[in-house]
Amino acid sequence: MLNTYTAVIQAGGKGTRLAELTKGEIPKPMVRLNGKPMIQWQIENVKEYGITNIVIIIGHLGEKIQQYFRDGSDFGVHISYIKETQPLGSAGSLYYLKEKIGFAPFILIFGDVMFDLSWERMISFHEKKNAFGTLLVHPNSHPYDSDLIMMDEDNRVVGMDSKLNTRNYWYQNCVNAGIYILDGHILEEIKEPKKIDFEKDLLQPLFAGKRIFGYMTPEFVKDAGTAERFYEVQKAQQNGVWKRKNLSNSQRCIFLDRDGTINRFNHLISQEEELELEPCAAKAIRLINESGYLAIVITNQPVVARGMCTMEEVKNIHRKMTVLLGEQGAYLDDLAFCPHHPDKGYPEENPLYKIPCNCRKPATGMIDEMVARYHIDCSQSYMIGDGTIDVQTGINAGLHTVLVHTGMAGKDRKYPVSAEMEAEDLLEAVEKILGNRL
């Protein structure tokens, strides 16, 4: 039951990165975003899902928060407070949380993170995994200066790569968002009220011995802790992007082919050095990100079945694509690839993948999986690709279709179909879609 969880909001910091908006007169969470303090948006979202017991950790100018919210009754919730008399980092004050909730499960939210989440989904994930802790993780537009979460195939967290580290490898855009569901017994790790960093000192030491998982979601979650990001978040709320991306609502998606659409066509790419983005790709995907549509790649990669590279090598090629996009402020909400190829007789082929399947385009298995995962409305969604196989896939899945003139430019003629629209490249395709729909 969602109402058994307490929401704990960490609002005790000085907010120096947002000084031009606080002007030293109010705490950061009280900065008004489209008419409401940032922290009020947080409270209203958790309340919408029946989470009404709230603890706010306050510090610098915390009395401003207390004066505004009082006991929470005016907002339909119950609010109590933990006041830091001296800075205790991002976790030291949780020592006092034991007095309020014992060892009951709780949600921890950092006060400069704006979001609109379908909480029953994240809590259901947490409970099904029997997790000790669950981190909300997501791709974002600046992974290069964000802490990255590393997970195994079961979404279990195996490590964290600090934004302060030098990264000389291709990484997955999987960012720690600053929202957690935690077993109350994590509080036993805090022996005294001293300065503790939540991630470094409390959470990371638990990765090896406890069941810590990452919950990936494309819903709206964004750090508003700098003036630039604050204004981006404010604009997204004004444009309805927050609510539109909540997975309680049906989603619109732009499904993207990879080769010849996002990256330059280079036949069968089997090495990371062979992947190079189309010049317009990052800008196009950035527009999708800003629009509220999901951006999901659907691609056939028979290089695995043909024995040209391994599954892990394909994943590394995709990580390179992720990094190159992230460097230009764009991200993918998800990616699916089919490693199969039904025709036998190729040198070095891998018989494990030489099978018929329901995922290889123009079959719709990969799209069907994403539709179920993200509550996608196919009648309001699109497939963009450079081949008739992409057009046929879109038709089979009930999507609108766009053919781009990069890559094969439809010259494969493998399927006798025509797209609803054509465009010179991915950017023009996205601009046409958004011009029709926004």
Catalytic residues: 257, 259
DSSP state of 274: G
Burial 51-67 (b: 16+ CB within 10 A, else e): bbbbbbbbbbbbebbee
Helical (H) or strand (E) element with 365? helix 365-374
CA atoms within 13 A on the CB side of 183: 18
> How far is residue 384's CA from residue 281's CA, in Å, rounded to a whole number?
12
DSSP state of 329: T
Other Cβ atoms less than 10 A from the Cβ of 290: the count is: 18
Contact, 133 vs 179, CB < 8 A?
Answer: no
**Contacts (Cβ under 8 Å, ≥6 apart) of 168:** none
> How far is residue 256's CA from residue 299's CA, in Å, rounded to a whole number?
8
Find how far residue 137's CA is from the centre of its chain. Answer: 6
Contact, 111 vs 203, CB < 8 A?
Answer: no
Both tokens of 351, joined, read 């018989």
> How far is residue 51's CA from residue 53's CA, in Å, rounded to a whole number?
6
> How far is residue 158's CA from residue 207's CA, in Å, rounded to a whole number?
6
> How far is residue 415's CA from residue 143's CA, in Å, rounded to a whole number?
39
Q: What one-letter code names the amino acid at 327? A: E
**Contacts (Cβ under 8 Å, ≥6 apart) of 33:** 41, 114, 224, 230, 233, 234, 237
φ/ψ of 388, rounded to 5, equals -65, -25
Residues in the chain: 438
The CA–CA distances, whole Å, from 365 to 4, 18, 301, 310, 395 equal 37, 46, 14, 21, 13
> How far is residue 413's CA from residue 403's CA, in Å, rounded to a whole number?
12
